Structure 1
Amino acid sequence: MQWQQLHLQCPKDQVDLAESLLLESQVLSIVLEDAGDQPLFEPMPGQSPLWDDVIVTGIFSAEMAQEIEALAQEIASQINASRVWISQVADKDWEREWMTHYHPIECANNLWIVPNWITPPNPKATNIIMDPGLAFGTGYHATTRLCLDWLTEQDLQDKIIIDYGCGSGILGIAALLLGAKQVYAVDIDPQAVLATKQNAERNHVAQKIMTFLPEEFDAYRKEQNLMPVDIITANILAKPLMQLAPYFATLIKPQGQIVLAGLIEPQLNDVKQAFAPWFTLDGSHAFSNDTDKHWHRLSGIFAG
């Protein structure tokens, strides 16, 4: 069966109209893509930014093959579309198709990220077995790799770590496999908390990792009189990191280490200034490949 795709390239102020017209026309799903190469970085709260030039794609069933061309002309006549075209997609086992896009990744110092349906290429390496699931942190994003590479360079033996914004749990799990004693994993997303628990079980470290929503973690700290930890990892975004700086200072012991990621170069000085009253952060380290080199990390120590 050939799924029908109707593509409309238009300015962002025409996207709502294009979507409305598609929704009136038996569309099964709608996808928005960048028509150029315009990055969208961190939005303000409540904002959902779009690219200036957008490709709106409506996906239709095979039964629409006879009507799709007339539909394309009708919708194009009502919006300011610079291009309109039709394509077909062969039917696949979509439940498993996404798996083809994931493969083992070798990080620094013989650390590997391996999808849980693939046999590790190097069984003697430190292998993190991951199910990408719905949480951020597959290891394929530059910000995750920057933190993983940093972890492999540290002495983590018997260290206690907070992974704030844990996503899939990949950083905390890596730390435990590299010798850490205990990880407290915190995220605002319940799906991330669940994914971290599941991935910890896959890697046989579930007994050493505790997962929390932020309010649960604060309650646990007070109830257990939790002592400051050795290391904080936080792969989030610049604005929440800056807001969290004074809070992180209450969680970490003097000379404890911190690594921050999710940063682009124009944000580095603002983040450093926000952390300066408590932390000494060194120069940034950028991801090395040409595609993702705009992502940076900062690391340093708690000077309190």
Structure 2
Amino acid sequence: MAWIQLTLTTDDEHARQLGDILMANQAQAVTYRDAKDAPIFEPPPGEIPLWSQTLVTGLYPAETNLAPILNNLHKVAFLSKPLQYKTDALEDKDWEREWMDNFKPICFGGRFWVVPSWHQPPEPEQPYLLLDPGMAFGTGTHATTALCLEWLTEQDLTGKTVVDFGCGSGILAIAALKLGATRCIGTDIDQQALRTTRENAKINGVADKLEVYLPHEMPNIKADLVIANILAAPLIELSKVILGYLKTDGPIAMSGILQRQANDVMAAYLPRIEFSAPRFQEEWTLISGLCSGRVNN
């Protein structure tokens, strides 16, 4: 099927509203892109970032008559007058197939694989996790997730209990179970993340070992290991909460941290955590260490 794209520019305050207007005017899908190549590194927890100038694109079947749609857009008060827009024809191709081809099995630590469900595990004798890209963050392709998976492959998880703080898709919790942990407790502020984690646990045959909770529902537990791949600000703000889930001498790893933020995050966990050297990938950092049990004087 051939398609046509209709793209307009607006500010972050009106981008979502414009997307809703396009959907109400027959768009089959809407996407948001940066209009000025301005990076956003740390959106608020649970929110999808938008840029100060955002390209909002509606996707329409090629045979769509855009004239009445453009007429409706001319009436939108926050859009420029005269209306500025761009249309692009998209060739007929199997978009789903092309999207799937972009995702390949990825190996971490030389022994653990994350495998899209439409692929066969490259080395089925090694532990692997079946995971498809979806709404919740965490497919193994982002540097922060990759750093956490590499770290997990280096831990002795046999018989251990793990807390995954900010579980997203469940990728880290399920990986820990596949690598030998016997119980994992995941928590997230997003109900969609909890649903996705449960579904991915079922797909991977570990649903009986994985529990998920909203933060206020978390059980009183001391885990053998804690991993938290969220963002620097909540890692700092919630340091006492996160540390409360970790046994003395237990390892902890945290990511979702820009390199320039690493020292501030570590300071929030001193002297309780004896940190190892940080790890870096692209602009991102993983910090890790052992819980010493010491407290501030």
Q: TM-score range by the shorter chain?
A: 0.7 to 0.9
TM-aligned CA deviation for residue 139 of structure 1: 1.1
- Root-mean-square deviation over aligned CA pairs: 3.4
SS in 1 for 2:180: coil
State how far apart, in whole Å, the 1-side matches of 2:66 and 2:215 are: 53
Q: Residue 130 of structure 1 aligns to which amino acid in structure 2?
A: L
Q: 1:67 to 1:112 in 2, by over 3 A?
A: same
**Quick one: distance in 2 between partners of 1:47 and 1:184?**
23
Q: Which residue of 1 aligns with 2:243?
A: 249
Displacement after TM superposition at 1:254 (Å): 1.1
Amino acid at match of 2:3: W
After superposition, what is the alpha-carbon deviation per residue over 1:87-129, rounded to whole angstroms, capped at 9, x for unaligned? 1234666677643332211122221100122211111222111
Q: Residues 209-256 of structure 1, C-alpha deviation per residue, up to 9 Å, x if partnerless?
A: 2222222213xx2xxxx4x22110001111111122111222211111
In 2, the alpha carbon distance for the partners of 1:118 and 1:145 equals 19
SS at 2:238 equivalent: helix
Counterpart for residue 121 of structure 1: 122
Contact 1:9-1:81 within 8 A present in 2 as well = no
The residue aligned with 2:187 is 186
Distance 2:46 2:138 in 1: 23
Using the TM superposition, give the Cα deviation of residue 299 of structure 1 relative to its aligned residue in structure 2, in angstroms.
0.4
SS of equivalent residue, structure 1 residue 267: helix
Distance 1:107 1:269, change over 3 A: same
**Unpaired runs of 5+ in structure 2?**
none
Secondary structure of the structure 1 residue equivalent to 2:208: helix
- State whether residues 261 and 298 of structure 1, in contact with CA within 8 Å, keep that contact through their aligned partners in structure 2: yes
SS in structure 2 of the partner of residue 87 of structure 1: strand
Question: Does structure 1 retain, via aligned residues, the 8 Å contact 2:105–2:116?
Answer: yes
Residue 3, structure 1, aligned to residue 24, structure 2: no
> What does residue range 252-271 of structure 1 map to in structure 2 within 5 Å?
252-271=246-265
**Shift in alpha-carbon separation, 1:45–1:263, aligned structure 2, 3 A:** closer
Pick closer, same or farther for the CA change 1:91–1:110 going to 2, 3 Å. same
For residues 200-211 of structure 1, the aligned pairs below 5 Å read: 200-211=201-212
Distance 1:88 1:181, change over 3 A: same
Distance, in Å, in 1 between the alignment partners of 2:107 and 2:41 is: 27
Q: How many residue pairs get matched?
A: 291
Question: Does the CA-based 8 Å contact 1:282-1:299 persist in structure 2?
Answer: yes
**Change over 3 Å in CA distance of 1:43–1:199 after alignment to 2:** closer
**Cα gap change, 1:216 to 1:93, in 2 (>3 Å):** farther
Q: Give the Cα–Cα distance (whole angstroms) in 1 for the partners of residues 131 and 112 of structure 2.
A: 13
1:235–1:261: 8 Å Cα contact kept in structure 2?
yes
Question: SS of the residue aligned with 2:38?
Answer: coil
1:10-25 correspondence runs (5 A): none
2:173 corresponds to which residue? 172
- Once residues 265 and 275 of structure 1 are traced to their aligned partners in structure 2, the CA distance between those partners, rounded to angstroms, is 17
2:285 is matched by which residue type in structure 1? H
Percent of pairs identical after alignment?
41
Query: How far 1:198 moved relative to its partner?
Result: 2.2
Quote the Cα distance in structure 2 between the aligned partners of 1:89 and 1:68: 21
Q: Does 1:298 align with 2:287?
A: yes
Give the AA of the match of 2:286.
R
- Are residues 69 and 104 of structure 1, via their aligned partners in 2, closer, same or farther at CA, if it must alter by over 3 Å? same
Higher helix share: 1
With structure 2 as the length reference, what TM-score do the two structures score?
Answer: 0.82
Comparing 50-59 with 101-110, greater Cα deviation is found at: 50-59
Going from structure 1 to structure 2, the CA distance change for 1:282 and 1:100 (only over 3 Å counts) comes to same
Cα deviation for residue 134 of structure 1 reads 2.7
Tell me whether 187-196 or 10-19 shows the greater mean CA deviation.
10-19
Residues 121 and 234 (structure 1), Cα distance of their counterparts in 2 relative to 1, 3 Å cut: same
Query: Are the counterparts in 2 of residues 143 and 296 from structure 1 also a CA contact under 8 Å?
Result: yes
* Distance apart, 1:141 and its partner CA: 1.3
Residue number in structure 2 paired with 1:104: 105
Amino acid at match of 1:167: G
Gaps of 5+ in 1: 288-292
